[in-house]
Structure 1
Protein backbone atom coordinates (compact mmCIF):
# COMPACT_ATOMS: atom_id res chain seq x y z
CA UNK A 1 0.00 0.00 0.00
CA UNK A 2 1.39 3.39 -0.92
CA UNK A 3 0.90 6.62 0.99
CA UNK A 4 -1.46 7.87 -1.70
CA UNK A 5 -3.79 4.86 -1.43
CA UNK A 6 -3.96 5.11 2.35
CA UNK A 7 -4.71 8.83 2.21
CA UNK A 8 -7.45 8.30 -0.37
CA UNK A 9 -9.08 5.59 1.71
CA UNK A 10 -8.91 7.66 4.88
CA UNK A 11 -10.37 10.65 3.07
CA UNK A 12 -13.24 8.49 1.79
CA UNK A 13 -13.90 7.13 5.27
CA UNK A 14 -13.81 10.63 6.73
CA UNK A 15 -16.21 11.89 4.09
CA UNK A 16 -18.64 9.03 4.75
CA UNK A 17 -18.46 9.48 8.53
CA UNK A 18 -18.87 13.25 8.20
CA UNK A 19 -21.85 12.86 5.85
CA UNK A 20 -23.51 10.33 8.18
CA UNK A 21 -22.91 12.61 11.16
CA UNK A 22 -24.35 15.61 9.34
CA UNK A 23 -27.44 13.63 8.33
CA UNK A 24 -27.97 12.45 11.91
CA UNK A 25 -27.49 15.96 13.28
CA UNK A 26 -29.95 17.40 10.76
CA UNK A 27 -32.56 14.80 11.74
CA UNK A 28 -32.11 15.57 15.44
CA UNK A 29 -32.37 19.32 14.89
CA UNK A 30 -35.51 18.88 12.82
CA UNK A 31 -37.09 16.84 15.61
CA UNK A 32 -36.09 19.39 18.26
CA UNK A 33 -37.42 22.29 16.25
CA UNK A 34 -40.88 20.80 15.78
CA UNK A 35 -43.25 23.32 17.32
CA UNK A 36 -46.18 20.94 16.96
CA UNK A 37 -45.37 19.03 20.15
CA UNK A 38 -48.64 17.42 21.15
CA UNK A 39 -47.80 17.67 24.85
CA UNK A 40 -47.93 21.45 24.69
CA UNK A 41 -51.34 22.87 23.92
CA UNK A 42 -51.64 25.48 21.23
CA UNK A 43 -52.35 28.95 22.51
CA UNK A 44 -55.69 30.50 21.64
CA UNK A 45 -55.72 34.19 22.43
CA UNK A 46 -59.46 34.53 21.88
CA UNK A 47 -61.43 35.29 25.00
CA UNK A 48 -64.25 32.95 25.87
CA UNK A 49 -67.69 34.15 24.89
CA UNK A 50 -70.53 34.23 27.35
CA UNK A 51 -73.72 32.48 26.44
CA UNK A 52 -76.94 33.91 25.12
CA UNK A 53 -76.00 35.42 21.76
CA UNK A 54 -76.78 32.37 19.60
CA UNK A 55 -73.66 33.05 17.50
CA UNK A 56 -72.48 30.33 15.17
CA UNK A 57 -73.21 27.52 17.65
CA UNK A 58 -76.74 26.86 16.40
CA UNK A 59 -75.59 23.58 14.83
CA UNK A 60 -73.43 22.52 17.80
CA UNK A 61 -74.34 19.48 19.90
CA UNK A 62 -75.56 20.15 23.41
CA UNK A 63 -73.02 19.33 26.13
CA UNK A 64 -75.33 19.66 29.09
CA UNK A 65 -78.36 21.38 30.50
CA UNK A 66 -77.64 24.80 31.99
CA UNK A 67 -78.92 23.46 35.32
CA UNK A 68 -76.11 20.85 35.29
CA UNK A 69 -73.43 23.55 35.57
CA UNK A 70 -73.31 24.81 39.17
CA UNK A 71 -73.17 28.55 39.87
CA UNK A 72 -69.65 29.34 41.11
CA UNK A 73 -68.38 26.06 39.68
CA UNK A 74 -68.26 24.04 36.51
CA UNK A 75 -68.11 20.66 34.87
CA UNK A 76 -65.36 18.94 32.87
CA UNK A 77 -66.34 17.06 29.70
CA UNK A 78 -63.44 14.65 29.23
CA UNK A 79 -64.45 13.33 25.81
CA UNK A 80 -64.71 16.86 24.38
CA UNK A 81 -61.65 18.07 26.34
CA UNK A 82 -63.56 21.11 27.51
CA UNK A 83 -64.64 22.57 30.83
CA UNK A 84 -67.79 24.70 31.14
CA UNK A 85 -68.13 27.05 34.10
CA UNK A 86 -70.82 29.35 35.48
CA UNK A 87 -68.98 32.05 37.48
CA UNK A 88 -72.21 33.93 38.18
CA UNK A 89 -75.80 32.90 37.58
CA UNK A 90 -76.58 32.80 33.87
CA UNK A 91 -72.97 33.52 32.78
CA UNK A 92 -71.38 30.50 31.10
CA UNK A 93 -67.73 30.16 30.05
CA UNK A 94 -65.80 27.37 28.39
CA UNK A 95 -62.09 26.55 28.20
CA UNK A 96 -59.83 23.81 26.92
CA UNK A 97 -59.65 21.18 29.69
CA UNK A 98 -55.91 20.66 29.19
CA UNK A 99 -53.35 22.25 31.53
CA UNK A 100 -51.13 24.81 29.82
CA UNK A 101 -48.14 23.68 31.90
CA UNK A 102 -47.51 20.18 30.53
CA UNK A 103 -50.68 19.21 28.71
CA UNK A 104 -52.27 17.09 31.43
CA UNK A 105 -56.06 16.74 31.44
CA UNK A 106 -57.71 18.90 34.09
CA UNK A 107 -59.67 16.82 36.56
CA UNK A 108 -61.74 18.98 38.89
CA UNK A 109 -63.62 22.23 39.36
CA UNK A 110 -63.84 23.32 43.00
CA UNK A 111 -63.40 26.38 45.17
CA UNK A 112 -63.71 28.73 42.17
CA UNK A 113 -60.85 27.11 40.25
CA UNK A 114 -60.28 24.52 37.53
CA UNK A 115 -57.59 22.17 38.82
CA UNK A 116 -54.78 20.08 37.39
CA UNK A 117 -53.78 16.91 39.24
CA UNK A 118 -50.28 16.66 37.77
CA UNK A 119 -48.48 19.61 39.40
CA UNK A 120 -51.30 21.49 41.14
CA UNK A 121 -51.93 24.35 38.70
CA UNK A 122 -55.25 26.15 39.26
CA UNK A 123 -57.18 28.35 36.83
CA UNK A 124 -59.97 30.85 37.56
CA UNK A 125 -63.46 29.77 36.50
CA UNK A 126 -64.33 33.35 35.46
CA UNK A 127 -61.60 33.93 32.88
CA UNK A 128 -59.25 30.91 32.75
CA UNK A 129 -56.36 32.91 34.23
CA UNK A 130 -53.68 31.19 36.30
CA UNK A 131 -54.43 31.34 40.03
CA UNK A 132 -51.64 28.96 41.07
CA UNK A 133 -48.66 27.67 39.08
CA UNK A 134 -46.52 26.13 37.83
CA UNK A 135 -48.65 26.98 34.76
CA UNK A 136 -47.94 30.50 33.47
CA UNK A 137 -50.43 30.68 30.56
CA UNK A 138 -54.22 30.93 30.95
CA UNK A 139 -56.54 28.27 29.60
CA UNK A 140 -57.54 28.84 25.97
CA UNK A 141 -61.14 29.99 25.73
CA UNK A 142 -63.85 28.18 23.78
CA UNK A 143 -67.07 29.64 22.44
CA UNK A 144 -70.14 28.57 24.39
CA UNK A 145 -73.79 29.46 23.91
CA UNK A 146 -77.03 28.81 25.73
CA UNK A 147 -79.88 27.62 23.54
CA UNK A 148 -82.96 27.35 25.73
CA UNK A 149 -81.67 25.24 28.61
CA UNK A 150 -78.87 23.60 26.55
CA UNK A 151 -75.20 24.52 26.74
CA UNK A 152 -73.56 24.21 23.31
CA UNK A 153 -70.05 24.70 22.02
CA UNK A 154 -69.76 26.81 18.89
Structure 2
Protein backbone atom coordinates (compact mmCIF):
# COMPACT_ATOMS: atom_id res chain seq x y z
CA UNK A 1 0.00 0.00 0.00
CA UNK A 2 2.72 2.49 0.80
CA UNK A 3 4.79 1.44 -2.19
CA UNK A 4 7.17 4.15 -3.35
CA UNK A 5 7.54 4.37 -7.09
CA UNK A 6 9.93 6.85 -8.50
CA UNK A 7 8.56 8.88 -11.38
CA UNK A 8 11.19 8.86 -14.04
CA UNK A 9 11.53 11.10 -17.03
CA UNK A 10 11.08 8.03 -19.26
CA UNK A 11 7.72 7.11 -17.69
CA UNK A 12 6.43 10.70 -18.04
CA UNK A 13 7.46 10.90 -21.72
CA UNK A 14 5.98 7.46 -22.47
CA UNK A 15 2.71 8.39 -20.77
CA UNK A 16 2.46 11.71 -22.58
CA UNK A 17 3.24 10.00 -25.89
CA UNK A 18 0.53 7.40 -25.36
CA UNK A 19 -1.97 10.12 -24.42
CA UNK A 20 -1.03 12.14 -27.52
CA UNK A 21 -1.50 9.17 -29.85
CA UNK A 22 -4.85 8.35 -28.26
CA UNK A 23 -6.05 11.96 -28.56
CA UNK A 24 -4.87 12.23 -32.16
CA UNK A 25 -6.50 8.96 -33.23
CA UNK A 26 -9.69 9.93 -31.44
CA UNK A 27 -9.82 13.25 -33.28
CA UNK A 28 -9.16 11.63 -36.65
CA UNK A 29 -11.89 9.06 -36.41
CA UNK A 30 -15.09 10.48 -34.99
CA UNK A 31 -18.21 8.47 -35.62
CA UNK A 32 -21.68 9.72 -36.38
CA UNK A 33 -24.82 8.50 -34.65
CA UNK A 34 -25.31 5.87 -37.36
CA UNK A 35 -21.85 4.36 -36.77
CA UNK A 36 -20.43 5.78 -39.97
CA UNK A 37 -17.04 7.42 -40.02
CA UNK A 38 -18.11 11.07 -40.15
CA UNK A 39 -14.56 12.32 -40.74
CA UNK A 40 -14.36 10.31 -43.95
CA UNK A 41 -17.88 11.29 -44.97
CA UNK A 42 -17.14 14.97 -44.36
CA UNK A 43 -13.90 14.82 -46.37
CA UNK A 44 -15.63 13.01 -49.24
CA UNK A 45 -18.48 15.51 -49.24
CA UNK A 46 -16.09 18.47 -49.21
CA UNK A 47 -14.11 17.01 -52.11
CA UNK A 48 -17.26 16.33 -54.10
CA UNK A 49 -18.68 19.80 -53.58
CA UNK A 50 -15.43 21.57 -54.46
CA UNK A 51 -14.87 19.64 -57.71
CA UNK A 52 -16.26 21.10 -60.97
CA UNK A 53 -19.58 19.51 -61.92
CA UNK A 54 -18.69 19.10 -65.59
CA UNK A 55 -16.12 19.74 -68.27
CA UNK A 56 -17.85 22.99 -69.12
CA UNK A 57 -17.64 24.12 -65.49
CA UNK A 58 -13.93 23.30 -65.51
CA UNK A 59 -13.52 25.14 -68.78
CA UNK A 60 -15.31 28.19 -67.33
CA UNK A 61 -12.75 28.32 -64.58
CA UNK A 62 -9.91 28.35 -67.11
CA UNK A 63 -8.29 31.71 -67.73
CA UNK A 64 -8.96 33.24 -71.12
CA UNK A 65 -12.47 31.89 -71.55
CA UNK A 66 -15.74 33.60 -70.83
CA UNK A 67 -19.12 32.15 -70.03
CA UNK A 68 -22.23 33.34 -71.85
CA UNK A 69 -25.77 32.10 -72.27
CA UNK A 70 -24.43 30.01 -75.18
CA UNK A 71 -21.76 28.38 -72.95
CA UNK A 72 -18.03 28.85 -72.55
CA UNK A 73 -16.49 30.85 -75.38
CA UNK A 74 -13.74 28.92 -77.15
CA UNK A 75 -12.88 31.27 -80.00
CA UNK A 76 -13.76 32.47 -83.50
CA UNK A 77 -15.37 29.92 -85.81
CA UNK A 78 -13.01 31.11 -88.56
CA UNK A 79 -10.18 29.31 -86.70
CA UNK A 80 -11.87 25.93 -87.34
CA UNK A 81 -11.15 25.07 -91.00
CA UNK A 82 -13.49 22.95 -93.11
CA UNK A 83 -12.10 19.38 -93.17
CA UNK A 84 -9.90 20.19 -90.18
CA UNK A 85 -10.21 21.44 -86.66
CA UNK A 86 -8.80 23.43 -83.79
CA UNK A 87 -7.47 22.10 -80.50
CA UNK A 88 -8.25 24.17 -77.41
CA UNK A 89 -5.55 22.68 -75.18
CA UNK A 90 -6.39 24.57 -71.99
CA UNK A 91 -10.02 23.43 -72.21
CA UNK A 92 -8.99 19.93 -73.42
CA UNK A 93 -11.45 20.22 -76.32
CA UNK A 94 -11.01 19.72 -80.05
CA UNK A 95 -13.56 21.25 -82.41
CA UNK A 96 -13.80 20.02 -86.00
CA UNK A 97 -15.72 21.17 -89.05
CA UNK A 98 -16.08 18.00 -91.19
CA UNK A 99 -18.30 19.84 -93.70
CA UNK A 100 -18.98 23.55 -94.11
CA UNK A 101 -21.14 24.81 -91.24
CA UNK A 102 -21.09 21.50 -89.28
CA UNK A 103 -19.13 21.74 -86.05
CA UNK A 104 -18.30 18.76 -83.84
CA UNK A 105 -16.71 18.74 -80.39
CA UNK A 106 -14.64 16.01 -78.77
CA UNK A 107 -12.42 15.57 -75.76
CA UNK A 108 -8.84 16.39 -76.75
CA UNK A 109 -7.55 13.74 -74.33
CA UNK A 110 -6.44 10.62 -76.21
CA UNK A 111 -8.18 7.51 -74.93
CA UNK A 112 -4.99 5.47 -75.27
CA UNK A 113 -2.80 6.98 -72.54
CA UNK A 114 -4.18 10.43 -71.83
CA UNK A 115 -1.98 12.64 -74.01
CA UNK A 116 -3.57 15.73 -75.53
CA UNK A 117 -4.17 15.25 -79.26
CA UNK A 118 -1.83 17.35 -81.34
CA UNK A 119 -3.20 17.96 -84.84
CA UNK A 120 -6.32 17.80 -86.97
CA UNK A 121 -5.68 17.14 -90.64
CA UNK A 122 -7.16 15.17 -93.51
CA UNK A 123 -10.36 14.49 -91.61
CA UNK A 124 -8.44 12.93 -88.70
CA UNK A 125 -7.64 13.99 -85.15
CA UNK A 126 -4.11 12.77 -84.46
CA UNK A 127 -2.32 12.07 -81.19
CA UNK A 128 1.42 12.28 -81.74
CA UNK A 129 2.28 10.46 -78.51
CA UNK A 130 1.56 7.00 -79.94
CA UNK A 131 0.07 7.85 -83.37
CA UNK A 132 -3.60 7.11 -82.65
CA UNK A 133 -5.92 8.58 -85.30
CA UNK A 134 -9.57 9.47 -84.71
CA UNK A 135 -12.33 10.48 -87.12
CA UNK A 136 -12.94 14.24 -87.18
CA UNK A 137 -16.59 13.46 -87.96
CA UNK A 138 -17.51 11.25 -85.01
CA UNK A 139 -14.39 10.75 -82.86
CA UNK A 140 -14.19 7.03 -83.64
CA UNK A 141 -10.82 5.27 -83.77
CA UNK A 142 -9.40 5.18 -87.31
CA UNK A 143 -6.12 3.56 -86.26
CA UNK A 144 -4.68 2.60 -82.89
CA UNK A 145 -3.19 1.90 -80.48
CA UNK A 146 -6.29 3.64 -79.00
CA UNK A 147 -9.28 1.32 -78.89
CA UNK A 148 -11.94 3.75 -77.65
CA UNK A 149 -13.43 6.76 -79.46
CA UNK A 150 -12.89 10.29 -78.21
CA UNK A 151 -15.87 11.30 -76.06
CA UNK A 152 -18.20 13.85 -77.70
CA UNK A 153 -18.49 17.35 -76.27
CA UNK A 154 -21.41 19.65 -77.01
CA UNK A 155 -20.35 22.71 -79.01
CA UNK A 156 -22.41 25.44 -80.63
CA UNK A 157 -21.69 28.33 -82.94
CA UNK A 158 -23.40 31.63 -82.30
CA UNK A 159 -22.57 34.44 -84.68
CA UNK A 160 -18.89 33.92 -85.44
CA UNK A 161 -18.00 32.33 -82.11
CA UNK A 162 -17.64 28.68 -81.04
CA UNK A 163 -18.92 27.81 -77.56
CA UNK A 164 -18.58 24.77 -75.36
CA UNK A 165 -22.18 24.19 -74.29
With normalisation by structure 1, the TM-score equals: 0.61
Gaps (5+ residues) in structure 1? 1-56
Q: Which residue of 2 aligns with 1:135?
A: 146
Distance in 2 (alpha carbons) for counterparts of 1:148 and 1:118 = 35
What is the CA–CA distance in structure 2 between the aligned matches of 1:108 and 1:144, rounded to whole Å?
19
The structure with the greater share of residues assigned to helix is 2
Cα distance in structure 2, aligned partners of 1:113 and 1:59:
27
**Cα deviation digits, residues 116-138 of structure 1 (max 9, x gap):** 11110000100000001010100
The equivalent of 1:67 in structure 2 is 78
TM-aligned CA deviation for residue 59 of structure 1: 4.3
Would you say 1:90 and 2:101 are equivalent positions? yes
Secondary structure in structure 2 of the residue aligned to 1:61: strand
Give how far 1:98 is off. Answer: 0.6
Q: In the alignment, does 2:114 pair up with 1:107?
A: no
**What is the CA–CA distance in structure 2 between the aligned matches of 1:58 and 1:67, rounded to whole Å?**
21
Question: Deviating runs (4+, > 6 A) in structure 1?
Answer: none
User: What is the root-mean-square deviation in Å for CA atoms of aligned residues?
Assistant: 1.1
Query: Unaligned stretches of 5+ in structure 2?
Result: 1-67
What is the alpha-carbon distance in structure 1 between the residues aligned to residue 70 and residue 100 of structure 2?
25
- Tell me the distance in 2 between the aligned counterparts of 1:97 and 1:106: 5
Compute the TM-score of the two structures, normalised by the length of structure 2.
Answer: 0.57
Could you say which structure has the greater relative contact order, defined with CA pairs below 8 angstroms and 6 or more residues apart? 1
> Is 1:151 aligned with 2:162?
yes
Could you tell me which residue of structure 2 aligns to residue 53 of structure 1? none
**Larger Cα-atom Rg:** 2
Partner of residue 117, structure 1: 128
